[in-house]
Amino acid sequence: MLEKKDRIVTGDRPTGRLHIGHYFGSLQNRVKLQNEYETFILVADVQALTDNFNNPEKVQKNVKEIVMDNLAVGVDPNKATIYLQSMIPEVAELTVFYSNLVTVSRLQRNPTVKTEIAQKKELFGESVTYGFLGYPVSQAADITALNGTIVPVGEDQLPLIEQCREIVRKFNSIYGQTLLEPKAILSNAKRIKGLDGNEKMGKSLGNAIYLSDTDEEITKKVMSAVTDPGRIKKDDPGNPNICMVSYYHKLFTKSNEELEEIMKECRAGTRGCVACKKQLIKNIINELEPIREKRRYYEERPELVKEILMEGTKHARKIAKENMLRIKEAMKLNY
């Protein structure tokens, strides 16, 4: 039996650079948790291929972007282990073992998978691939290969963790107490809306500010953000509750006094939207500059980034290998 010592496993699919939605939604939390728990951060390239199998270049290119984004926000390679999924063959092996413990209809009923399949009609047509339908099984393998017990994720991932727990229980009931049942913890912040007011900030929606955006990109994006549509002339009174610029001020404008003044002047119609946007641009740049600076450090040192990922992978692999021996023994596959 394993002794239970909490270990975090979490990760991202390398399908694009990370944006401020990730920053407030999961990255800040990750940076905090690395001081409290043994932390493993997975770059889920195999999972990324489940809906990008026809675009391997995209996945490959984004592996290093994701590693750099994590390092830039303060994930510390001396505290947390960043590792690459495709270099842990035990995960693929476990996925096969676990696939006996889950039914096709249970996967089809997984709310996250169901929503994603509906969104990916263009890729999948009328019939989804075996790999995509089964990615919750491989995610269960990600977590259990390392004996992860705490999985910090966004709300959309909860059904995947629930499915992992079911697989673990089923495994233990058949092969004996071997695996630990992980629990999800929600990253504290809520989902961040897009610049266009969309409920979700997403790369495919074109409404995101990336951690690696330049001053020019940030300026252009904020300048086109959606404001109160009722405010036509500069001195019309505005309603900050329906303005994306004020929404972002609440995230980035750290001084309460400054924030109150912005809201007051907007309501009174004494501050124009352009001035308000310029102030927001300044505050976003202030917040992101240390992150960008750190990112530039790593961008100039691609060998170091690679080394961090390879060292992390070596460490994760060692744990997965040891764990695999126990799992195979439980399954009577110990030859």
Binding site for ligand TRP (CB under 6 A): 9-13, 42, 44, 47, 139, 142-143, 151, 153, 157
| Between 158 and 251, CB nearer to ligand TRP | 158
Give the angle subtended at the CA of 50 by the CAs of 23 and 81, to the nearest 5°: 45
CB of 258 to ligand TRP, least distance (A): 34
Smallest distance from ligand TRP to CB 271, Å: 38
Backbone angles phi, psi at 310, to 5 degrees: -70, -40
Count other Cβ atoms within 10 Å, centred on residue 30. Answer: 22
Q: Output the six-digit token pair for 322.
A: 């040891």
201 vs 244, which CB is nearer to ligand TRP?
201
Tell me the residue nearest to ligand TRP as measured from the CB.
44
DSSP tally for the chain: helices H, then strands E: 16, 5
18 vs 266 by CB, closer to ligand TRP:
18
What's the min distance (Å) between Cβ of 112 and ligand TRP? 8
Phi-psi region of 231 (alpha: psi -120 to 50; beta: other; left: phi over 0): beta
Contacts 24+ apart (CB under 8 A), 216-219: 218/281, 218/284, 218/285, 218/288, 219/281
Would you say 44 or 305 has its CB closer to ligand TRP?
A: 44
Q: What's the closest the beta carbon of residue 41 comes to ligand TRP, in angstroms? A: 9
3-state helix, strand, coil in the chain (%, to 5): 60, 10, 30
Residue closer to ligand TRP, measured from CB, 169 or 264: 169
Q: Locate all alpha helices (DSSP H) within 199-334, ordered by sequence.
A: 215-223, 244-252, 256-268, 273-299, 302-330
Q: How far is the CB of 13 from ligand TRP (least distance, A)?
A: 5
Min. distance of Cβ 94 from ligand TRP in angstroms?
13
Side chain identity at residue 270, one-letter code:
T
Nearer to ligand TRP, 47 or 283 (CB): 47
